[in-house]
Homo-oligomer: A and B are copies of this chain.
């Protein structure tokens, strides 16, 4: 019998803990939001308890499970299993999350960045199956990424490799990223940028069919709202989606020149914009790469879906 894998996806609002089989299918899962109000040690205790609960209600010994993979947003020092900083949770500055969790278990605990976890999940269980190298980009509130080289995550010296979202592609841009720099890809093409992009279009005199209520808090303008706009053929929504896609396409072109991978997999909420978005991303890439591309590079949307975080975290145990 193949062992099961255990994954934990610690997000800013939701924390998921799951048992996953070696085909990447969820066997059992516990979601919680209670972690948000806890301090560092409290969160570890909560999650460790939920893992033990999963083991127990599935009649598993710890030794029936390969290991525990944890994906967490923020800067992670992979070798040491330390969260250096994370903007998603209070505290957790230089917090040795891996060892703290390891104290509850004998099987190995692995801690990595959530984007790396999702990347490895897509590689093992999703669109990356059959490849040895790929790049994964997750485009939602922010932009994260993971690089697979020779069947393994490439993490760099600290563990922060793959931060394509923070590469600068418009140094004189009027858009400032959450990192403090101007003109990162993230500043132009993730969920956080949408309110700004919308206001800009409206200020340029463009008229949206979205019919947002007059008291609508524009900072809440989300990818889902623009998806509705796209479906109703709203020109402003389509322009914003198209502009975002342009910067993702340009980012993928830069990835192509840098790493020449055979595959780029896209995940994250904004991929729900679907073909209109993907087609513009691909068109931008092709237009820039033209006669410099000699082998196919596929750009596909991840097929793993909403549980990508926790499935990816589980995948870390079989890297």
Contacting B at CB under 8 A, from A32-64, are: none
Do residues B297 and A179 form an inter-chain contact, with CB atoms below 8 A?
Answer: no
List B contacts of A77 (CB < 8 A).
Answer: 294
Does chain B have a CB within 8 A of A171? Answer: yes
* Beta-carbon contact of B295 and A257 below 8 Å: no
Q: Which of A247-261 contact B (CB under 8 A)?
A: 250, 253-255, 257-261
Contact yes or no, B158 A254, CB < 8 A: no
Interface assignment of A213: CB less than 8 Å from any CB of chain B: no
Option from B163, B172, B179, B260 in Cβ contact (under 8 Å) with A156: B260
A297 to B158 CA separation, bound complex (whole angstroms): 10
A171 touching B250 by the CB < 8 A rule? yes
Note all chain B residues with C-beta closer than 8 A to A149.
149, 154
A174 to B: closest C-beta gap in Å: 13
Least distance between A135 CB and chain B CB atoms (Å): 10
Task: Find chain B residues with CB under 8 A from A160 CB.
Answer: 257, 260, 292, 294
- Does B157 contact A261, Cβ atoms closer than 8 Å? yes
Do B294 and A258 have beta carbons less than 8 Å apart?
no
A282-303, CB under 8 A of B: which get 1 and which 0?
0000001010101101000000
Evaluate contact between A171 and B168: CB separation under 8 angstroms: no
Pair B259/A292 contact, Cβ less than 8 Å = no
Instruction: Name the B residues within 8 Å of A292 (CB-CB).
Output: 75, 160, 166, 179
| Separation of A162 and B160 alpha carbons in the complex (Å) | 19
- How far does the alpha carbon of A258 sit from the alpha carbon of B146 in the complex, in Å? 9
Contacts of A260 in B (CB 8 A): 155-163
Which B residues are CB-close (under 8 A) to A156? 133, 259-261
CA separation between A168 and B255, bound complex, in Å?
10
A233 at the interface (CB under 8 A from B): no
Known contacts A75-B294, A84-B294: does B168 contact A259 (CB below 8 Å)? no
Report whether A167 and B259 are in contact in the complex, using a CB–CB cutoff of 8 Å. no
Contact bitstring A170-192, B, C-beta under 8 A = 1, else 0: 11100000011100000000000
Q: Residue A262 at the B interface, CB < 8 A?
A: yes
Q: Are B180 and A157 in contact (CB under 8 A)?
A: no
Chain B CB within 8 A of A123 CB: no
List 4 tightest A-B contacts by C-beta distance, closest first.
A156-B260, A161-B260, A167-B254, A163-B257
**Can you show 24 pairs from A to B with CB atoms below 8 A apart?**
A75-B294, A149-B154, A155-B260, A156-B259, A157-B261, A157-B262, A157-B295, A158-B260, A160-B257, A160-B292, A161-B258, A161-B260, A162-B260, A163-B257, A163-B258, A164-B257, A167-B257, A168-B254, A168-B288, A169-B171, A170-B172, A180-B290, A258-B258, A258-B259
Q: Which chain A residues have a beta carbon within 8 Å of chain B's beta carbons?
A: 75, 77, 84, 133, 147, 149-150, 154-164, 166-172, 179-181, 250, 253-255, 257-262, 288, 290, 292, 294-295, 297
Known: A179-B292, A180-B290. 6 other contacts (CB 8 A): A147-B258, A150-B150, A157-B297, A161-B260, A166-B257, A169-B169
